[in-house]
Chain A
Amino acid sequence: MRSLSHLRALEAESIHIFREVVAEFAKPVMLYSIGKDSSVMLRLAQKAFHPAPMPFPLLHVDTTYKFREMIEFRDWYPASIGCELRVHTNREAVAAGASPIALGTSKCCGLLKTRALLDGLEAGGYDAAFGGARRDEEKSRAKERIYSFRDQQGQWDPKNQRPELWNLYNSRVDKGQSIRVFPLSNWTELDVWHYIHLENIPVVPLYFAKVRDMIVRRESLIPPEHNVLPLLPDEKPQPVLCRMRSLGCTPCTGAIRSAADTVPKIIEELLSFRRSERENRIIDHDQEGSMELKKREGYF
């Protein structure tokens, strides 16, 4: 028997996960982050339930600091394939002026991402939430189960995870507890782009190189959108040929210098990369183990 190609095997595994969750949970939801991983998740979910529409809504946790192009994409793409999108924002914190500059990245993330996510999940009464996190992204994510158990407070206990054998997932939770499900656990960044290429999956244009105005500080390219970062004297945004390798909030997601303006060029570029995709994410670098701390608190 001919074995499936690597990507088709990953695809079959992910589809199995989607179906298992829908068969066993009362109220699943997909956390939609608008990025490339979310785009791939959407395609996999479409495949899992074809010809039916996706049997769960999408939830976007909007920090209000997302790129305009992300929001445009969010409001276009899911609807174009028949998905229902819900948006949750921590209005209180936004009204109080929460920003990474005012509060520091870790507190800002805690309020606008983690708190908003937990509240959004609770408001919807969801008992399972799909997330697009991959184990190859970061060292604490490398430790995640595919079904990641969360207690009543949405917290992760990395020292006491349920064993997870074969593809037999334990979906039992008590009221208030939930499972975060990661169908892309075994996908790498390269797999994701390879799949986007093969399947022709739409992604936010920010991933493609273009001349954009950026605040240039030593190695970092910081998007000026939302005007959060105070400019230094004499500093002003300059045009730079660049693209985003991963998408988040504008003040905390750096761009990279790149001329890759098509998916094949991005793949070629990835093959030569010697640095990880999260390097331009300020959130992971506050202190050693900061992602783990955030995840313990309920971040996904």
Chain B
Amino acid sequence: MTTFDSGTVTIEEFLAQEAGKDLLRFFTAGSVDDGKSTLIGRLLYDSRGIYEDQLASIRQSRVNRSTGPIDFSLLTDGLRAEREQGITIDVAYRYFSTPKRKFIIADTPGHEQYTRNMATGASTAALSIILVDARLGVLPQTRRHAAIAGLLGIPRVVLAVNKMDLAGYDQAVFEKIRTDFLAFASRMGFEHIQPIPVSALEGENVARRGTAMAWYTGPALLEHLESVPVAETRAHPDLRFPVQYVNRPNLYFRGYAGQIASGSLSKGDPVLILPSGKTSRIASISTFDGDLETASAPMSITVTLEDERDISRGDMLVHPERRPVAARTFDAHLVWMHEDPLAPGRSLLIKQTTQQVTGRVTAIQGRLNLQTMEDSAAPILGLNDIGKVRIEASRTLLFDAYRANRPTGSFILIDPISNATLAAGMILGAVDRAAPEGHVTTSERLQRNGHSPALLAFSNRELALRLERRLFDHGCQVLASDKPVAQAELAWQAGLIVIAPEIADARVRQLDLVPLPKEEEAALDALMAYLEQQGILGVIERFDSGEGI
């Protein structure tokens, strides 16, 4: 709700004021019972963001775990189980607004068991308030939440050292926690950390500065929330338009609908369509309110193109010179959210932008140790673990690193059998083919060659040489030999396509048996088609290399 201290506001004043307001999404985090829900309740109460009937209902509530007349945590702990157990189980969203700004608050649970709900509330936020109980200091769960906020790329943090009333409002207590927190949090890539000593219960330094801590000269929490910059300073500049839905109401309109993930586009702009690699131009940006000349993230629009192109959900429109990464294999951070641990190798679903493909985690490269805040080796990831993994998708994904572009660098993993959401993923980057770790695997070889190995027996020497050239120009690792090949195993293992009059190997395919037209070009076309149909060519998509296309 909106609060105004002055009694009446005219519609003109309202519209003018609203137009000038921006929106800050933030969430609370920290260990269980540190006072997150109480802090949010207090903030809403002191900024007149609570309706009287809601307040009356919590005043009358049978439950009151606080030492004051009102248990402010009840304003967000809205589930019966939460009130009964006195903890937050799932994230609650609250909306409030001051004359300066609009806020969406996600009050998340501190209990370790519900870390996934904390990540849910955090994923859409621009600022986190991490609470620490002044008596207990930094706890493992504080570190876990800070690490998740860091991985999620939340740029700004408020360190709220709470329950200062129980620590005698002592500056030394605050300084100690501040130092401990900064020691590990400074490595997490936050843009800005604002420590504030507060008492959620007493309202000290919450909506306004209090009197109990004269030694503190910084802003009160609300002051900070109202003034902190919200513009995405790290917004990715390049156009990424994942096609969400193809809109074909009739023969004359073929629109591609979606929400612009980053950058902007204008009528007449050239666009590259991925993964097909075809190009076209924006013919129109069509909306219910009329055509637009230009549109930018995060608008939801529909575009038409100048040319007929075969485009479907999951494709991406980009600027021809500004391509995203296209790769099947990539490294990522995961927050594992399921009771059953992640064991590499199992088939999973990956949802990223508007595509959903199957894939697997091929290796766990490390698990975050919350004591040392370093990665250490781990065979599995358990519930709430944070790890670094390698993932192989069955099809090429189009992405940017999460750090550079949140909407295209994020993904979730889904269990194809139970349908459970298993993990939140943040892409680090494509796997560099030049320097993979460990020995070179068959699939890496397949990816580099772009085709399967093949042993082709062919007695037409002329045509064999022409086919070698055709395949070579196509990018294949190919060798035509005019002598029989006895040791085929080596060539097979290296992933080559070998063409020879005779090959002593069970895996050989007889090109002589392929019916061929007389004319040479047509015969070559037929041979290429045969290889494609046999799954030797074309199984691996063009854009699996891990480099920009």
A, B: real partners: yes
User: Scoring B residues 269 to 305 as 1 if CB is less than 8 Å from chain A, else 0, what string do you get?
Assistant: 0000000000000000011110000001111101000
Residue B231, interface by CB 8 Å: yes
Residue A172, interface by CB 8 Å: yes
Write out the residue numbers on chain A whose beta carbons fall within 8 Å of the beta carbon of B416: 172
Binds A, one of B72-80, B218-226, B441-449, B486-494: B72-80
A76 to B264, CA, bound (A): 39
Residue A52, interface by CB 8 Å: yes
Write out the residue numbers on chain B whose beta carbons fall within 8 Å of the beta carbon of A145: 120
Q: Judging by beta carbons under 8 Å apart, are A161 and B117 in contact?
A: yes
Q: Judging by beta carbons under 8 Å apart, are A165 and B79 in contact?
A: no
User: Scoring A residues 277 to 300 as 1 if CB is less than 8 Å from chain B, else 0, what string do you get?
Assistant: 001000000001100100000000
User: Scoring B residues 91 to 104 as 1 if CB is less than 8 Å from chain A, else 0, what string do you get?
Assistant: 11111010000101
Q: Judging by beta carbons under 8 Å apart, are B61 and A1 in contact?
A: no
Q: Judging by beta carbons under 8 Å apart, are A23 and B244 in contact?
A: yes
Given A1-B235, A4-B299, A276-B51, the answer on whether A23 and B419 have CB atoms closer than 8 Å is no
Q: Judging by beta carbons under 8 Å apart, are B78 and A268 in contact?
A: no
Q: Judging by beta carbons under 8 Å apart, are A53 and B249 in contact?
A: yes
Residue A159, interface by CB 8 Å: yes
Residue A47, interface by CB 8 Å: yes
Binds A, one of B13-21, B357-365, B469-477: B13-21
Shortest A297–chain B CB gap in Å is: 14
Residue A15, interface by CB 8 Å: yes
* Across the A-B interface, the 5 shortest Cβ-Cβ residue pairs: A139-B78, A52-B249, A15-B300, A264-B11, A172-B419
B1-51 contacts to A, CB under 8 A, are: 1-2, 4, 7-11, 14, 18-19, 21-23, 51
Residue A258, interface by CB 8 Å: no
Shortest B367–chain A CB gap in Å is: 19
Residue B194, interface by CB 8 Å: no
Residue B351, interface by CB 8 Å: yes
Q: Judging by beta carbons under 8 Å apart, are B298 and A12 in contact?
A: yes
A143 to B116, CA, bound (A): 14
Q: Judging by beta carbons under 8 Å apart, are B259 and A15 in contact?
A: yes
Q: Judging by beta carbons under 8 Å apart, are A12 and B11 in contact?
A: no
Shortest A286–chain B CB gap in Å is: 13
User: Scoring B residues 220 to 253 as 1 if CB is less than 8 Å from chain A, else 0, what string do you get?
Assistant: 0000000000011001000000001101110001
A-B contact list, 6 entries, CB within 8 Å: A53-B249, A136-B95, A145-B120, A165-B119, A165-B412, A166-B123
Write out the residue numbers on chain B whose beta carbons fall within 8 Å of the beta carbon of A135: 93, 95
Q: Judging by beta carbons under 8 Å apart, are A268 and B89 in contact?
A: no
Shortest A299–chain B CB gap in Å is: 15
Contact check: which of A7, A162, A163, A267 meets B11 at CB < 8 Å?
A267
Binds B, one of A62-70, A89-97, A118-126, A186-194: A186-194
Given A1-B296, A174-B419, the answer on whether A136 and B412 have CB atoms closer than 8 Å is no
Q: Judging by beta carbons under 8 Å apart, are B407 and A166 in contact?
A: yes
A22 to B248, CA, bound (A): 13
Contact check: which of A265, A267, A272, A274 meets B52 at CB < 8 Å?
A274
A16-B244, A139-B54, A272-B8 given. 13 additional CB < 8 A pairs?
A: A15-B300, A50-B288, A51-B247, A143-B90, A145-B120, A158-B90, A161-B90, A167-B124, A168-B411, A172-B414, A188-B95, A273-B1, A289-B83
Q: Judging by beta carbons under 8 Å apart, are A159 and B90 in contact?
A: yes
* CB-based nearest B residue for A293: B80
Q: Judging by beta carbons under 8 Å apart, are B94 and A136 in contact?
A: yes
Q: Judging by beta carbons under 8 Å apart, are A268 and B14 in contact?
A: yes
Q: Judging by beta carbons under 8 Å apart, are A268 and B414 in contact?
A: no
Residue B354, interface by CB 8 Å: yes
Residue B313, interface by CB 8 Å: yes
Residue B53, interface by CB 8 Å: yes
Write out the residue numbers on chain B whose beta carbons fall within 8 Å of the beta carbon of A9: 23, 298
Write out the residue numbers on chain A whose beta carbons fall within 8 Å of the beta carbon of B539: none
Q: Judging by beta carbons under 8 Å apart, are A142 and B76 in contact?
A: yes
User: Scoring A residues 148 to 191 as 1 if CB is less than 8 Å from chain B, else 0, what string do you get?
Assistant: 00000000001101111111101011100000000001101110
Write out the residue numbers on chain A whose beta carbons fall within 8 Å of the beta carbon of B10: 268
A173 to B414, CA, bound (A): 11
User: Scoring B residues 358 to 380 as 1 if CB is less than 8 Å from chain A, else 0, what string do you get?
Assistant: 00000000000000000000000
Interface size class for chain B? 35 or more
User: Scoring B residues 328 to 347 as 1 if CB is less than 8 Å from chain A, else 0, what string do you get?
Assistant: 00000000010000000000
Q: Judging by beta carbons under 8 Å apart, are A271 and B4 in contact?
A: yes
Residue B514, interface by CB 8 Å: no
Residue A217, interface by CB 8 Å: no
Number of interface residues of A (CB under 8 A): 69
* CB-based nearest B residue for A189: B1
Q: Judging by beta carbons under 8 Å apart, are B11 and A268 in contact?
A: yes
User: Scoring A residues 12 to 46 as 1 if CB is less than 8 Å from chain B, else 0, what string do you get?
Assistant: 11011001101100000000000000000000001
A193 to B299, CA, bound (A): 21
Q: Judging by beta carbons under 8 Å apart, are B78 and A140 in contact?
A: yes
Q: Judging by beta carbons under 8 Å apart, are B412 and A19 in contact?
A: no
Residue A48, interface by CB 8 Å: yes
A47 to B313, CA, bound (A): 19
Q: Judging by beta carbons under 8 Å apart, are B90 and A19 in contact?
A: no
Residue A6, interface by CB 8 Å: yes
Residue A218, interface by CB 8 Å: no
Residue B155, interface by CB 8 Å: no
A58-92 contacts to B, CB under 8 A, are: none
Shortest B353–chain A CB gap in Å is: 8
Contact check: which of A50, A161, A265 meets B287 at CB < 8 Å?
A50
Shortest B309–chain A CB gap in Å is: 18
Q: Judging by beta carbons under 8 Å apart, are B259 and A164 in contact?
A: no
Q: Judging by beta carbons under 8 Å apart, are A143 and B257 in contact?
A: no
Write out the residue numbers on chain B whose beta carbons fall within 8 Å of the beta carbon of A50: 286-288, 302
Q: Judging by beta carbons under 8 Å apart, are B253 and A170 in contact?
A: no
Given A52-B247, A159-B90, A288-B61, the answer on whether A47 and B22 have CB atoms closer than 8 Å is no
Shortest B531–chain A CB gap in Å is: 35
Write out the residue numbers on chain A whose beta carbons fall within 8 Å of the beta carbon of B144: none
Given A9-B298, A267-B11, the answer on whether A170 and B1 have CB atoms closer than 8 Å is no
A16 to B81, CA, bound (A): 33
User: Scoring B residues 455 to 479 as 1 if CB is less than 8 Å from chain A, else 0, what string do you get?
Assistant: 0000000000000000000000000
A244-283 contacts to B, CB under 8 A, are: 264-265, 267-268, 270-276, 279
A268 to B18, CA, bound (A): 13
Residue A3, interface by CB 8 Å: yes
A279 to B54, CA, bound (A): 9
Residue B258, interface by CB 8 Å: yes
Q: Judging by beta carbons under 8 Å apart, are A162 and B420 in contact?
A: yes
* CB-based nearest B residue for A296: B80
Q: Judging by beta carbons under 8 Å apart, are A48 and B249 in contact?
A: no
Write out the residue numbers on chain A whose beta carbons fall within 8 Å of the beta carbon of B349: 172
A289 to B78, CA, bound (A): 8
Residue A227, interface by CB 8 Å: no
A168 to B300, CA, bound (A): 15
Q: Judging by beta carbons under 8 Å apart, are A163 and B95 in contact?
A: no
Residue B406, interface by CB 8 Å: yes
Write out the residue numbers on chain A whose beta carbons fall within 8 Å of the beta carbon of B414: 170, 172
A265 to B9, CA, bound (A): 10
Q: Judging by beta carbons under 8 Å apart, are A19 and B257 in contact?
A: yes
User: Scoring B residues 389 to 421 as 1 if CB is less than 8 Å from chain A, else 0, what string do you get?
Assistant: 000000000000000001100111010100111
Given A1-B296, A136-B1, A186-B104, the answer on whether A170 and B421 have CB atoms closer than 8 Å is yes
Residue B424, interface by CB 8 Å: yes
Write out the residue numbers on chain B whose beta carbons fall within 8 Å of the beta carbon of A12: 259, 298-300
Write out the residue numbers on chain A whose beta carbons fall within 8 Å of the beta carbon of B406: 166
A165 to B106, CA, bound (A): 13
Shortest B12–chain A CB gap in Å is: 9
Q: Judging by beta carbons under 8 Å apart, are B253 and A51 in contact?
A: yes
Residue of B62, B92, B300 with highest tally of chain A CB at under 10 A: B300
Q: Judging by beta carbons under 8 Å apart, are B419 and A168 in contact?
A: no
